[in-house]
Structure 1
C-alpha cells in the first residue's frame, strides 16, 4: 500500500483523505471536494454521527461528480487538540483504515488550521511520522500495549512485515475488539487479568520465551515496567505513548541488563 501527501489540486482518482474540525467544519481541500461532488460530503456528515472530533472518521464511497473510489474524512477536533501525538495517532488511524479496506493507494490532503499551534507542514510531518514503518522481522512475536490509533497502526504494520503473532493489551473491550479486527491474534484485558496472569499468558503463547518486540502506545507509565518484563532475552522495547513530563514509574532494571534488552523512545 502506498500513502502520499496530496499536492495542490488533489488527485482525480483513488482514495483521498481530507479533514474536518470540531462541529464537522470541512477543511479547504474538503470544501473543494464537497463542491465537486455536489455536496456529497456535507450530506454524509449530516446523515451520520460524525462531528469532526479527534479520532473520528467517516468514509464517503465513490462520491458523485468525481472519479474517486472513496473520500475519507478524519476529525481533527478543536485547534488545541492538534498536537504532535494526536497527529501521529491520526497517521496510525489513516494507515490502519486504509489497510483494513485493502486500499492500494491513498493521498492525504493536509491543510492549515486556523488558531492551531501547528502549521500545515508540522501536521504533515507528524502524520508522516505516525506512518513510519516499525522495524519488525518476519516470524517474530509482537506485543502492543494500547489499542488506540497508533496501536492499530502498529498491528497493521506488524502483520504486513511478517509478525508470526500479535498480542494486544488494553483496558477497553471495544478497542480490543477493534484490535482483533485489525489482525491481533491474542487479546489481554488489563481489567480482567493481573500482571502475573498476563505474563503467564504471554509465556504460554511464546514457548516460555516472551515477546520479541513490545511497543508501548498506551501513554500509561506503569505499562513500561510490565512491557519490559514480557520480553524475551535480547528483545526490543519501543516507548511511544509516554510523552508527558512529571509522570513517574518504577521497574526492575535487571530485566534490561540481564535480558540484554534494547529500549528505545520514539517522539
Structure 2
C-alpha cells in the first residue's frame, strides 16, 4: 500500500469486507485478513484509534498463529506510538510465542518482533538490551534475508540510532558509512535503499559539514527516480535541501526546492 493509492486501497479493502460478510461466517479467517488490511490502511494514514479498532476485530476471527502474530505486532507498533510500552512489549512477546509454535519460522515476522522489542528498549534508554535485540536481528537478517530487504535496512538504521544516542557518534557514522559502501557494491547506484542510507548519514552530519549538500543532492536524484513510491521521502529530501540553503543565506536556491 503506497501513499499515492491509499483511497483505492481503502475502497478495495471495504469492498472485499462487504462481499465476504455476505458469504462467510463473521469470524472466518479471510474476514480477519480483510479487517487487518483495513487496520493497516488506518495505521498508514495515522488514524491509530481506528486502526486499533479493526485490529481488535481481526483478532476475534479464527486466525492461524502467523496471522495472530502479525495483528499483534501491528497493534504493538501503535502502542509504542502511544508510549504504552508495557502493552506494546506484552503484545510482542505474545506474538513471538505464537510464531515459535510453528515448525517453520516466518523469518520476517520474527525479525520484526525483535526489532520492535529493541525499539522499545531504545526509547526507554535500556541500551544494552536494545543492542542485544538489534544485533540478533542483524545476524538473522545476514543469514536469512536478501541484502536489500527493508527489515535489514531498518535494523542497520536502528543500530546507528543506538550508537548515536549513547554519545558514540563517530562509531555511528563509521558503521553507517561501512554499510553504505557494502550496499553500493551489491545494489545499483540508483537503488532506493542507497538514498535511505544517505539520509540516515545526513542525520549525523554537522550543520556546517561541506559534504551535506552533496549527500542531499545525490539522495534526491535517486528519490526522483522512485517518486511515485517514495513521495514523502522525496518531499522530505527537498525540504532538507531548502533548509540547508536557507541556513547558508542562499535564499534564491532555497526557494527552488520549496
TM-score of the superposed pair, with normalisation by structure 2: 0.29
Q: Give the number of the structure whose residues are more often helix, by fraction.
A: 2
Larger Rg, first or second structure (1 or 2): 2
Higher RCO (C-alpha 8 Å, min separation 6)? 1
TM-score of the superposed pair, with normalisation by structure 1: 0.28
